[in-house]
Amino acid sequence: MKAAVIEADNVLTVRQIPEPEVGDYDALVDILYGATCTGTDLALIAGKLPFRSPLPTVLGHESVGRVVATGPKVRYLQLGDLVTRVGTRPVGPYSISWGGFAEVGLAKDYRAMEEDGVLTDPWPDARRNRVLPKGMDPAGATMIITWRETLSYLTRMGMAPGKSLLVSGSGGNGLSYVAHGANLGGACVAMIGAASREQHARRAGATHYYDYQAEGLKDAVSAACGEGFDLVIDAVGKIGAADLGLTFLKPGGILGIYGLHDFGQCTIAPLRSQSTFTFYNGGYDEAETHDQVIAMVQAGQLDASIWLDLDNPYPLDQINEAFEAVRERQLVKALIRIEG
């Protein structure tokens, strides 16, 4: 099968690798579509993250596939089901950096594994292999992975109706935080980002938008929501962004750094804040928000076309062109058509 393989730093190649073997609790899937995760994928390709698997490694973690066969102990995955967060497994010399950009992958039947007391290492990840409702578009459904992660992070952080939210960074994650902030009843949902992304942010639900290069940025943002924001999220993870965010927090507010741009190097200077604040470091659990995200999609509250060009996916063979379009900010995220 074809797969997108990181062979060396800044070298991503589509090549033929063996298909994964099906285990007792595995469902074999034809992977239909995957979406690029701008921050994580580009950092993995460049070798900037400590958790990249040994090279060569198969990239991709936002993929959706259709079940075509099942192992003997599978009970809750059926032929034809669309399943999220699928990918190949390590095979031969190839490790996986989640393995979603491959033509064939596996999903785990986590419910059967739980019932049978099989608590092996893959089990926590298996909870993200969830069956989608019948008739859901598999291309747009690649966004569910990003939406689940960010909704879990934001709700754990304390977002609730009437609260105010400031998001720094207008990429796919930042726009997801804006959409969730609006859907969760935020009274004021603001974003600092690139001028070219304002319409995306407005469509997602932003009430205020600020060009990060504009003069007078600090004064404008400070005046946006009264005494400050309840929550501030740095969705890029760039040095200095969190310190700027501190200046916009209201007393008792919560600051979070979600992005990976300068992973491990970001610091904060507490005295930049107006008063006492909380630094959120509680992570997220993608699986816990699956049902809530599906309900939002079905209610029309989350629209994948804000993030993806659903009509013009890149074939897997052109994945490098897709990543270049993302680097050049021609796209928020690129959609990859993996099936032939």
**320 occurs within a structural domain:** yes
**201 occurs within a structural domain:** yes
**6 occurs within a structural domain:** yes
Q: What are phi and psi of 297, to 5 degrees?
A: -65, -45
Label residue 214 exposed, middle or buried (CB < 10 Å: 0-12, 13-18, 19+).
exposed
The rounded distance, in Å, linking the Cα atoms of 255 and 260 is 15
Highest mean pLDDT among 90-99, 123-132, 220-229: 90-99
pLDDT at 263: 87
Same domain, 9 and 36: yes
Query: Quick one: which of 63, 59, 51 has its CA closest to 14?
Result: 59
Same domain, 162 and 64: no
Question: Which residues, in sequence order, are CB contacts of 205 under 8 Å at separation 6+?
Answer: 178, 179, 181, 182, 183, 189
Q: Which helix (H) or strand (E) holds 233?
A: strand 229-234
Give the CA distances from residue 113 to residues 9, 74, 78, 192, 218, in Å, rounded to whole numbers and listed in that order. 37, 9, 15, 44, 52
Q: Tell me how crowded residue 112 is: count the other CB atoms within 10 A of its CB.
A: 18
**Span 81-105, average pLDDT:** 97
pLDDT at 85: 97
Pairing of strands 314-315, 335-337: parallel
**324 occurs within a structural domain:** yes
> Where among 236, 262, 280 does a domain terminate?
280
**293 occurs within a structural domain:** no
Q: What's the mean per-residue pLDDT of the chain?
A: 95
**One-character DSSP codes across 97-130:** EB--SBSEEEEE-HHHHHHTT---TTHHHHTT--
For the segment 312-324, what is each residue's pLDDT rounded down to a tens digit? 999 999 999 999 9
Alpha carbons within 13 angstroms on the beta-carbon side of residue 218 total: 7
Q: Is the pLDDT of residue 329 over 80?
A: yes
3-state secondary structure of 240: coil
Q: Is the pLDDT of residue 97 over 80?
A: yes
**Span 314-336, average pLDDT:** 97
Could you tell me where the DSSP H helices lie in the chain?
Answer: 38-46, 110-115, 123-126, 143-157, 172-183, 198-204, 217-222, 241-246, 290-298, 319-327
- The answer to whether the beta carbons of residues 334 and 314 sit under 8 Å apart is yes
**Span 280-289, average pLDDT:** 95
Q: Is the pLDDT of residue 195 over 60?
A: yes
**Band (171; pLDDT cuts 50, 70, 90):** very high
- The answer to whether the beta carbons of residues 263 and 43 sit under 8 Å apart is yes
Q: Is the pLDDT of residue 105 over 80?
A: yes
Same domain, 75 and 101: yes
**298 occurs within a structural domain:** no
Give the CA distances from residue 80 to residues 29, 34, 135, 180, 293, in Å, rounded to whole numbers and listed in that order. 9, 18, 11, 30, 22
The number of folded domains in the chain is 2
For the segment 288-318, what is each residue's pLDDT rounded down to a tens digit? 999 999 999 999 999 999 999 999 999 999 9
Domain enclosing residue 239, as ranges: 146-280
Q: What is the CATH number of the domain that holds 320?
A: 3.90.180.10
**89 occurs within a structural domain:** yes
Same domain, 18 and 49: yes
**Span 73-100, average pLDDT:** 97
Can you name the residues that pair with 106 across neighbouring β-strands? 28, 87
- The answer to whether the beta carbons of residues 197 and 307 sit under 8 Å apart is no
**Band (118; pLDDT cuts 50, 70, 90):** confident
pLDDT at 50: 84
Same domain, 83 and 153: no
**Band (122; pLDDT cuts 50, 70, 90):** low
pLDDT at 29: 98
Same domain, 240 and 332: no
Q: Is the pLDDT of residue 325 over 90?
A: yes
Q: Is the pLDDT of residue 104 over 70?
A: yes
Q: Is the pLDDT of residue 44 over 80?
A: yes
Label residue 314 exposed, middle or buried (CB < 10 Å: 0-12, 13-18, 19+).
buried
pLDDT at 119: 67
- The answer to whether the beta carbons of residues 45 and 6 sit under 8 Å apart is yes
Q: What are phi and psi of 34, to 5 degrees?
A: -140, 155
Same domain, 15 and 45: yes
Q: What are phi and psi of 140, to 5 degrees?
A: -65, -30
**295 occurs within a structural domain:** no
Same domain, 127 and 228: no
